[in-house]
Amino acid sequence: MKFKIVFNVCVLFFAASLLPAEQSNLKKVSFLPQWAPQAQFAGYYVAYEKGIYKKYGIDINILQGGPDSPPDKMLIEGACDFTTLWLSSAIKENGQGKKIVNIAQMMQRSALMLIAKKSSGIEKPEDINNKKVSLWNDVFQVQPRAFFKKYDLNVTVIPQTYSINLFLRGGVDVVSAMWYNEYHTIMNYGYNPDELTAFFYYDYGLNFPEDGIYVKGEYFRKNPEVCRLFVKASLEGWQYAFTHEDEALDIVLKYMEKAHVPANRVHQKWMLERMKDLMTDGNAAMPSGKLSEKDYLYVANCMKEIGLVNSAPEFKDFYKECPSYDKKK
Amino acid sequence: MIKRNSIAFKLIFSILISCTALFLGIFWYNYSFSKKIISENISDNAKNLTRATVNEIDSVLLAIQEIPENIASLLEHNPYDKDELLNIVHSAVEGNPEIYGAAIAFDPYAYESGALYFAPYYYRKKDSLEFTYLGSATYQYFYLDWYLIPKELQSPVWSEPYYDEGGGNILMATYSVPFYKNDGGKRKFMGVITADISLMWLQKMVSSIKIAKSGYAFLISKNGAYVTHPLNKLIMNETVFSIAEATNNNQLRDIGKSMIEGESGVVSIIGLATKRPSWLSYAPLSSSGWSLGIVFPRDELLLDITRLNRVVFILGFLGFVILFVILFLISMSITRPIQILADTTRDIGTGKLDFDLSAIRTKDEVGKLAESFVYMRESLKKYIKELTETTAVKERMQSELRIAHDIQMGIIPKIFPPFPDKPEFDIYGILSPAKEVGGDFYDFFFMDSDRLCFVVGDVSDKGVPASLLMAVTKTMIKTMSKDASTPDQILDMVNKEIAHDNDSSMFITIFCGILNIKTGEIMYSNGGHTLPLVVQSGYKIEFLKGDSGIAVGATEKAVYKTNKILLGPKDIICVYTDGITEALSKNQELFGENRLKEEMCAVRQMPLKAIILDIQRKVNEFSDGMPQADDITLLAIQYLGGIKKTEETVIALKNSVSEVPRLAEAVRGLLKSRNISEKIINEINLSLEEILANIIGYAYADKNEHKITVSLSISGSEFTAKIVDDGKPFNPLSAPQPDINASVKERKVGGVGLYFVRKLMDKIEYKRSDGKNVLILKKTVE
């Protein structure tokens, strides 16, 4: 009798000791979205909330992004393991000697655009000549400048920060916007699409794919499998988000409220739907995550032309294809 | 209980229907009209409240605006140094409790060539004033809205509301005013002066606005973002457009656009917070361009009206129920007595006069009707009683009259022919009273063996009185004729007698005539009577000439005259009363004397009785359909005198069959001239032939010639044939009746033939005299 009890207790202890071992198999990583919580990062939040990362053995800690957390700086400094960046930003970093690699290109299509009020008389690119245009800084100026050059436009550039109120108040004639964000914000402020003229760089041969998942080159070398699994889980998260829109929005709004970010369900819905358009070409619900060499070279060349970078790494050094990789059995 | 076609139903139905229609009409009008009025009132009130609130907010904001504007003006026109600048900012914040913080932010290098940023900023922290310089690498204010927008627009501008990140999560707004410097005639942009204010007072003010139970006010920014709203979740998260998108509400989008474009209005919407139909009244803040909206919940505001109408409706309904009950009772009170009366009338119809109407006690029209019914009953009873009595009396009188009729007819000679043994004349008369008894009469009697007195009279009246006078007069005439020899004497005597005691002033027209049957002469006297019609010589038809005379009994002083007329053989005198000539047809035509004459002409050849009856029939046909107005009397006399008393022919025949036709000829000759019919002549001839055949066949034993004598005679209307033969004695009367069923051969002599003779002749006599058979056969021929 006594022996039985002792034996059972031992078994229990042994079993218990195994559990943390199981748990310790989860790889701890940190992920920083490049901005404050919004549907732009829905897939990651959803993947976390639905336990997809855990399924792939990743214990993820999603950091809060925003104006105070510049993603490129934090990635280089190791404040986060994974982050999302624009392709052009990553190229620029590499040009400055910071070795970061792309493990998944999420957005296939550029969402950057220019918007003007129809009432200001601007309906085609030529109408922008001699007008005031507000542009975001840095890499956000590659496409606009190419655009102005293409159409031989003479414009007054006003720096644009976090609001479009200057445009709304009539301070500038043309404003920079992301299709998934500011475009709908303008609609939320009372403008109907038929009152606006939209210039998508995508339509004018200036397609710079934007968001992608980046890690330090070093980190990839040390943890290739984790990276691949991270990508796989993230892609799955995005797929789930696209097919369970309402649930995904609930999750996103929760994170936004926690971060005290002004949250508006219709705006996030618009954003999520545009993400689908930008990531999946509209057909498949699962983003491909692939970066085409052509796109990479195109962006790199444009940047070189403007003088933002002097050189860019080789494609194979820059892009580490993960999405098609299956976990080795 | 109420039948479909009863008065109660009709009354109730029609009144209730019309009342319902009327009530509904009034109610509907009242409801919609009052609703309209209230709505307009609310609309006006809404606009007023909105404007008042807007003005109140504006007054605060406009006051605040002045401060940075004044500073801008000051800086533009006056020189300043750092201390002065700081002072200005400090006093701006200190001196104005609404201002949370203020700054003067210079354009890069505008203050000093070495200073990229220069933006002194004072702000409140708890109860004290804190100071700092804005601007750093991480806070490049010249790219921020509060700086960039007024710079680019070159005019002051209110920022969008934002949350103060310093702590406390207070909603703030900043008023930025660009300031300039005159640089060599040109206006150079120097920087922006700001004043930050907390919007807490604004939120408190707006959210304190309460309309009825669930009405509220809200404020949206120039971008349409909710600055204040009862649904806190919306504030700074949603704009009026995002809500419109979320609820698929295009109307809200249009309203939002109208609001941020600075318009005012009142519209009908479904309230966001209340989810109920409401009015939204909105107006812009002239200071910041934000827009105030006030939501007025429609049903709450119309609650009083709705409640009022509901009560009115219920009252109306109750009213109907009461009305229904009252109508029902009233109509019952009318129809029940009427029903009783209806049943009673039925009873009266069947003869039951002892009905009880005590159930009807009301004093109204129905009660009066019931009273009339009772009165009618009493009258009916009395009337029926009287009627019964009168009818009994009448019936008694009727039967007495019938008896009187019979008596009256009894005293008029009715048997025709009255004097068969006087073949000198023929007489026939008819009397047809208009009523049971009448005033007409006729009479005839022999005064002596040769003189026939005949009278026709017409009493001036009809009915019982006339009949009494008629009887008296007729009797008187017969009596007094014994002492008279001429008709005028008769009339005179009768007249004096009647006129003497004539209280009733009745009179009689009389035509009196005396016919001498030997001569055919008529003496006549007329007392006011219609002159008779005379047919003479077979074709002359005239009314007797002469004056009418005075009616008998009219006056004692009347004088009567006698006239004469001679009748030839077959002449007829026809006396009539005016019942004949004054008979009316359906077309109000009188029969008239001409028609009488014509008729007489048509029938004059007929036997006298046939003539009279024909005229009577003609008159009846004429007046067919009309009641007989007057007594009808016709008395006609046809004089036959001048004809031999008896006509006799004797014919001697040999006993041979060939002689028979001679006998027949003789019979025919005798009878034909007397207008005897063929049938009778044949019957006579048949009989005579039979007798003769028997004689010729069986009377003689030998074959010798014998003589048979046949005497034929007519006397009056009787024909006699006397057959004398000298054969063996044979009496046909004693011959046995023949067995008519036996065959011809078997029958005995004198069988069938004699049977016929016995049948055809009226009288057969036989005697044997002087060794001869004498057989006499008689037959009436006229």
Given an 8 Å threshold on Cβ–Cβ distance, is B242 in contact with A267?
yes
pLDDT at B157 over 90: yes
Nearest in space to A228 (alpha carbons), one of A74, A56, A26: A56
Q: How far is A67 from chain B (nearest CA, A)?
A: 10
**B241 contacts in A (CB within 8 Å)?**
187-190
CA dihedral B194, B200, B205, B207 (to 10 degrees): 130
Q: How far apart are CA B629 and CA B609, in angstroms?
A: 24
Which residue of chain A comes nearest to B258, CA vs CA? A190
Task: For chain B, report the end-to-end CA distance as a whole number of angstroms.
Answer: 88
Confidence at B501, pLDDT banded by 50, 70, 90: confident
Do B440 and B470 contact (CB within 8 A), yes or no? yes
In chain A, the domains with their CATH numbers are: 20-108+209-318 (3.40.190.10), 112-204 (3.40.190.10)
Confidence at A21, pLDDT banded by 50, 70, 90: very low
Do B459 and B396 contact (CB within 8 A), yes or no? no
Given an 8 Å threshold on Cβ–Cβ distance, is A163 in contact with B145?
yes
Q: What 3 state SS string does A226-290 have?
A: HHHHHHHHHHHHHHHHHHCHHHHHHHHHHHHHHCCCCCCHHHHHHHHHHHHHHHHCCCCCCCCCC
CA dihedral B253, B255, B257, B262 (to 10 degrees): -160
Given an 8 Å threshold on Cβ–Cβ distance, is A188 in contact with B239?
yes
pLDDT tens for A157-175 read: 998 988 899 999 988 999 9
Q: How far apart are CA B473 and CA A141, in angstroms?
A: 164
Q: How far apart are CA A220 and CA A214, in angstroms?
A: 9
Which residue of chain A comes nearest to B140, CA vs CA? A161
pLDDT at res. B689: 87
Given an 8 Å threshold on Cβ–Cβ distance, is A188 in contact with B245?
yes
pLDDT tens for B326-335 read: 888 888 877 8
Kindly state the average pLDDT of the residues B3-23: 81
Given an 8 Å threshold on Cβ–Cβ distance, is A165 in contact with B149?
yes
Q: What share of chain A is helix, strand, coil (3-state, %, to 5)?
A: 50, 15, 35
SS3 A125: helix
pLDDT at B745 over 70: no
pLDDT at B514 over 90: yes
Query: What are the structure tokens assigned to B74, written together?
Result: 């000051």
Average pLDDT, chain A: 86
Q: How far apart are CA A179 and CA A271, in angstroms?
A: 8
ipTM value, please give it. Answer: 0.81
B145 in reach of chain A (CB within 8 A): yes
pLDDT at res. A17: 52
Given an 8 Å threshold on Cβ–Cβ distance, is B143 in contact with A263?
no
Given an 8 Å threshold on Cβ–Cβ distance, is B149 in contact with A166?
yes
pLDDT at B363 over 50: yes
Given an 8 Å threshold on Cβ–Cβ distance, is A165 in contact with B145?
yes
Q: Which residues neighbour B488 within 8 Å (Cβ) at sequence distance 6 or greater? A: B525, B560, B561, B562
Given an 8 Å threshold on Cβ–Cβ distance, is B237 in contact with A158?
no
Q: How far is B82 from chain A (nearest CA, A)?
A: 29
Average pLDDT, chain B: 86
pLDDT at res. B258: 93
- Treating both helix axes as pointing N-terminal to C-terminal, what angle do B7-77 and B200-207 enclose, rounded to 10 degrees? 170
pLDDT at res. A250: 95
Confidence at B742, pLDDT banded by 50, 70, 90: low
pLDDT at A327 over 60: no
The counts of H helices and E strands in chain A are 14, 10
pLDDT above 90 as % of chain B: 21
Nearest to A165 among B160, B240, B241 (CB): B160
Q: What 3 state SS string does B6-39 have?
A: CHHHHHHHHHHHHHHHHHHHHHHHHHHHHHHHHH
Kindly state the average pLDDT of the residues A34-47: 93
Confidence at B644, pLDDT banded by 50, 70, 90: low
Report how many Cβ contacts below 8 Å link chain A to chain B: 69
Query: What are the structure tokens assigned to A83, written together?
Result: 């982050």
pLDDT at res. A329: 37
Nearest to B224 among A132, A166, A190 (CB): A190
Given an 8 Å threshold on Cβ–Cβ distance, is A165 in contact with B246?
no
Q: How far is B243 from chain A (nearest CA, A)?
A: 8
Nearest to B143 among A161, A262, A264 (CB): A161
pLDDT above 70 as % of chain B: 96
pLDDT at res. B466: 85
Among the listed ranges A145-149, A304-308, B196-200, which one has the minimum average pLDDT value? A304-308
Nearest to A172 among B152, B157, B159 (CB): B152
B159 in reach of chain A (CB within 8 A): yes
pLDDT tens for B237-292 read: 889 999 888 888 889 999 999 999 999 998 888 877 778 888 899 999 998 889 99
Pairing state between β B451-459 and B440-446? antiparallel
Q: How far apart are CA B11 and CA B324, in angstroms?
A: 10
Given an 8 Å threshold on Cβ–Cβ distance, is A262 in contact with B237?
yes
pLDDT at res. B762: 87
Amino acid at B589: E
pLDDT tens for B581-597 read: 899 888 888 998 898 99
Interface of B with A in 255-314 (CB under 8 A): 256-257, 260
B480 in reach of chain A (CB within 8 A): no
Burial (Cβ within 10 Å: 0-12, 13-18, ≥19) of residue A269: buried
B154 in reach of chain A (CB within 8 A): no
Given an 8 Å threshold on Cβ–Cβ distance, is B148 in contact with A267?
no
**B162 contacts in A (CB within 8 Å)?**
none
Q: For an interface test with A, which of B138, B147, B149 has the most A Cβ atoms less than 10 Å from its Cβ? A: B149
Confidence at B747, pLDDT banded by 50, 70, 90: low
pLDDT at B457 over 50: yes
Kindly state the average pLDDT of the residues B697-719: 83
B246 in reach of chain A (CB within 8 A): yes
Given an 8 Å threshold on Cβ–Cβ distance, is A190 in contact with B238?
no
